[in-house]
Structure 1
């Protein structure tokens, strides 16, 4: 028996709509996660579907959405529209939400979290989940995208491959050491930016990612429920 259902939603964004999918736990839920994809693909990217399904099966609502385009400012605006949608929803009332994404989607999520300290969503946002965060362009380790990360005060979890060509391990660990909020990193040994690991099945890698994400979220929300 399936422990969650899926609901397609249209999220208002200016004069158009964003396509979204809510993975809805059958049992009572109080917290949610928003996820979006990288520069390519869409909300049906296998990593996002896997994380969303796993979280929903463990009682955490998950909303993933599609936003095409390579303009980061545009992606951030779209993410804010999704945050407004879920925070004001009467159909899916939540006590708090974790913002996340993969690759460029993680950059958009981090921008929204960083900006939240200056708006009404500060208390609603519980943390930031970064899957394959693109710390720098390929082979351009001198062009770091860490400045915004250093301003974030919310809890952060990075899940990255130790062989990610867009996230040198030592550079991310250095950035984490300078971040203001409680920050963790889980390295997938030998994984590339796309989380491919030679000699391991994709399902096995995704299972490792899912378990780590759930553990981190549960560790943060458990004190809030007590």
Structure 2
């Protein structure tokens, strides 16, 4: 099911993948360079509903409007706030999630919106080649249980670059920012995707 939600940043779109007996809603936003067709988002939407987790894939207003460039972070936050009432409407705990820029949005707004937890896929810890421009404060300030899923070769921040903090981290070996792995890697892309979904499922099952 797809629904259009009017926000102060424009019309956003939610694509629902509903669980028959849901205990959680996982709302996931996309990154600044792509949409909800990303391999990790698709895999979560295909896998989690069978395990009691309804997945809501959220398209920010700029994507719905057909624009190619994401707006400023504060505008992304406005769009996310605007869809939150629809995400919370089923009356279930909502995990606020996203990939890349969407992960930053989820972290920045989690406490304010009353998120149950945060899922950060490919969190952009810093711009490529600029580790001094750290965004660790956003991640560490989420204020709720947080899972980071990070590629081992992500130019926006490798797992070993992440600071210590109150969050869990699942590494996708050899994965880049989109979780693609080289053909010479010891895991295939299919195995990488299964690693992501299994990690998210195990973490979601551990949430109170």
TM-score, structure 2 as length reference: 0.88
| Aligned match of 1:202 | 189
Offset of residue 15 of structure 1:
7.8
Is the 1:20–1:43 contact (alpha carbons within 8 Å) kept by the matching residues of 2? no
Alignment of 1:52-63 (within 5 A): 52-63=45-56
1:183 is aligned to 2:136: no
SS at match of 2:171: strand
| Aligned match of 1:193 | 177
Find the aligned partners of 2:189 and 2:174 in 1 and give their Cα distance: 13
1:104 is aligned to 2:109: no
| Aligned match of 1:142 | 132
| Aligned match of 1:70 | 71
SS at match of 2:137: coil
Offset of residue 30 of structure 1:
2.5
Offset of residue 215 of structure 1:
0.5
Offset of residue 52 of structure 1:
1.6
Count of residue pairs the alignment pairs up = 197
Find the aligned partners of 2:23 and 2:159 in 1 and give their Cα distance: 34
Q: Deviations over 1:95-133 (max 9, x none)?
A: 31101111111011111114x2xxxx43xx211001100
Find the aligned partners of 1:152 and 1:97 in 2 and give their Cα distance: 14
TM-score, structure 1 as length reference: 0.82
SS at match of 1:64: strand
Runs of 4+ in 1 over 4 A off after TM superposition: none
Find the aligned partners of 1:148 and 1:64 in 2 and give their Cα distance: 22
Find the aligned partners of 1:76 and 1:215 in 2 and give their Cα distance: 28
Offset of residue 41 of structure 1:
1.6
Offset of residue 47 of structure 1:
1.8
Is the 1:141–1:168 contact (alpha carbons within 8 Å) kept by the matching residues of 2? no
SS at match of 2:207: helix
Is the 1:136–1:166 contact (alpha carbons within 8 Å) kept by the matching residues of 2? yes
| Aligned match of 2:67 | none
| Aligned match of 1:85 | 86
**Unpaired stretches in structure 1, ≥5 consecutive residues:** 1-6, 222-226
- Tell me how large the CA RMSD over aligned residues is: 1.6
Is the 1:30–1:94 contact (alpha carbons within 8 Å) kept by the matching residues of 2? no
- RCO greater where, 1 or 2, for CA within 8 Å and sep 6 or more? 2
1:214 is aligned to 2:201: yes
SS at match of 1:216: helix
| Aligned match of 1:24 | 18
| Aligned match of 2:65 | none
Offset of residue 32 of structure 1:
0.4
